[in-house]
Amino acid sequence: MTPITWNVNDKSALLDVDSNGLRVNYTAELNKLPGNCGI
């Protein structure tokens, strides 16, 4: 069965789910940080 809404408790921390669980927002980073930054 296909999910109808997003589960706000079972998602990536990079996603923002609206209060009704129907819309998801994400931000793509164009300038990635180098791996040696230690983040």
Could you report the per-residue pLDDT of 1-39, keeping only the tens digit for each? 777 888 888 888 888 888 888 888 887 777 777 777 765
Q: Which residues contact 5 (CB under 8 A, 6 or more apart)?
A: 20, 21, 22
Amino acid at 36: N
Q: Looking at residue 25, what is its pLDDT?
A: 87
- Name 13's bridge partners: none
Q: Looking at residue 7, what is its pLDDT?
A: 83
